[in-house]
Structure 1
Amino acid sequence: MKAIRIALLAVGVAAATQAQAVGVGVRAGTNGIGGDIGFSVAPTLLARVGYSYLNYSNSIEQTDVKYDGKLKLSNASALLDWSPLGPFRITGGFIFNNNKIDVTGTPTGGSYTLNGHVYPASAVGSVAGEVTVGNKAAPYLGIGYGNVATTGVNFYFDLGVMFQGSPKTSLNATCGSAIVGTPACTQLQQDTAAEQAKLSDELKRFQYYPVANIGITVGF
């Protein structure tokens, strides 16, 4: 019984010691700007949760069409850091992401082409598209340096891959007043669907999203 009490006391002391290994971090990278909270669950194992966010807008003109694009990064992470070699670590877990790209195309003059067919500007109201990730809960595997829960102020980085699956696309076009209710409007919708199929096929190779983050931690 005495041995059992000593063992239980040792476990309690170890748990209390590990409970003190807590830290927070702020970071920036390909997932956006965000932060992490981490705590030790074993001498070489750290549990980490985080969130990143970023909005970016840009406009370009190409072939008489103005494209307004909005990149929206929004993702939460649940990760385990295994550090068998000091500050160097292997990280795995899941990134729950809602990343997407919204694009709106508006003719600026003349005409533009959809699926090989040329449409005058008056025939098209606008073209809008969206690209979202295939896996909302994307497995993540990577390497890194630094422990969020290390006492004091330190830096850390992550380098890995998020398996987000084949991106999902949507593409919609509105008919201009000049062709509403005519066969040309139907043809425009068919050509838009064909362009969406092409886009989906082209984006299949983007199943893997590179993750690179660097940040500063404060451990307690």
Structure 2
Amino acid sequence: MHLKTLATLLLAVASVSTAQAADGRYSLGVGATTLGYGVDANLRLSERFSATASWSTFSVDGDVDTDEVAYTGELSSDNASVALNWHPFAGSFHLSAGLVAGDLQAVVTGTPVAGSSYTFNGQTYTAAQVGQLRGEVVIKDNMAPYAGIGWRSQRKGLGAYAQIGVMAARTGVALSATGMLADPRLAADLEAERASLEQEVDLSLYPVIGAGLHWRF
């Protein structure tokens, strides 16, 4: 992943911002978004442009069900981002474009909805035949583009910010079973289930919504 690259950019924004702190163009904040909770640094570059660098993380248990299988597991995220913001009215409102890098993944185990059997691609298998069913959902792209709108107070001292946007990235799903691994029919039907699961948990347009507090120096 390119977390190191974005971390370097984040430090660059912070170091440049420190030099500008005296004129109130620099702020540090904490907040939470659908990418996690974390910190950010913002630098007002000019009347109509600013830059933001952030880092966030989270982990949460959850479940996803298809017609055949109930999946339960953990969704986790650990990422860094940078964005250039355009303030069309030279105020708090802005439009943003940037990049997000890091990991967004879910690791799940499956149990049959029917209780003692699975149905993959119209074919029925017992739980003993399938064994343990394990899936993993990941974002394939090392860096994903982000676009959104936001609001960030410009007065010195304590303020607030909010954002809403979308991250575009390709989603990949892996699915494996410990039983009957040499059975070509099970392998083909399991691949059909993997494709179905990939549609169910599509993260290709991931909403990024959040808010937080910051201190402008």
| TM value normalised by structure 1 | 0.77
* Residues 68, 120 of structure 2: 8 Å contact kept: no
**Runs ≥4 in structure 1, deviation > 6 angstroms?**
60-64
Report whether the alignment pairs 1:122 with 2:125: no
1:120 positional shift: 1.4
Match of 1:152 among 157, 164, 187: 157
Instruction: Give CA-to-partner distance per residue, 1:107-161, whole Å, 9 cap, x none.
Output: 59421211211111221211111111232211111111115x7420001101111
Match of 2:192 among 179, 194, 198: 194
Change (3 A) 1:173 1:26: same
- What residue in structure 2 maps to residue 78 of structure 1? 82
Change (3 A) 1:46 1:210: same
**Rounded Cα–Cα distance in structure 2 between residues aligned with 1:36 and 1:196:** 37
* Residues 95, 140 of structure 1: 8 Å contact kept: yes
Change (3 A) 1:65 1:134: closer
Change (3 A) 1:112 1:98: same
**Rounded Cα–Cα distance in structure 1 between residues aligned with 2:87 and 2:152:** 9
1:17 positional shift: 8.0
RMSD: 2.8
Moved more, 115-124 or 101-110: 101-110
* Residues 18, 42 of structure 1: 8 Å contact kept: no
**Rounded Cα–Cα distance in structure 2 between residues aligned with 1:151 and 1:56:** 35
- What residue in structure 2 maps to residue 219 of structure 1? 216
**Rounded Cα–Cα distance in structure 2 between residues aligned with 1:204 and 1:106:** 17
- Among all aligned residue pairs of Structure 1 and Structure 2, give the percentage whose two residues are the same amino acid: 34
1:101 positional shift: 1.3
| Structure 2: gaps of 5 or more residues | 1-16
1:213 positional shift: 0.8
**Rounded Cα–Cα distance in structure 2 between residues aligned with 1:60 and 1:133:** 17
* Residues 44, 84 of structure 1: 8 Å contact kept: yes
Letter in 1 for 2:50: L
- What residue in structure 2 maps to residue 53 of structure 1? 57
| Structure 1: gaps of 5 or more residues | 1-14
Report whether the alignment pairs 1:93 with 2:98: yes
* Residues 35, 56 of structure 2: 8 Å contact kept: yes
Count of residue correspondences: 197
Report whether the alignment pairs 1:29 with 2:26: no
Secondary structure of the structure 2 residue equivalent to 1:42: coil
* Residues 160, 211 of structure 2: 8 Å contact kept: yes
Larger Rg computed on CA atoms:
1
- What residue in structure 1 maps to residue 8 of structure 2? none
**Rounded Cα–Cα distance in structure 1 between residues aligned with 2:45 and 2:76:** 33
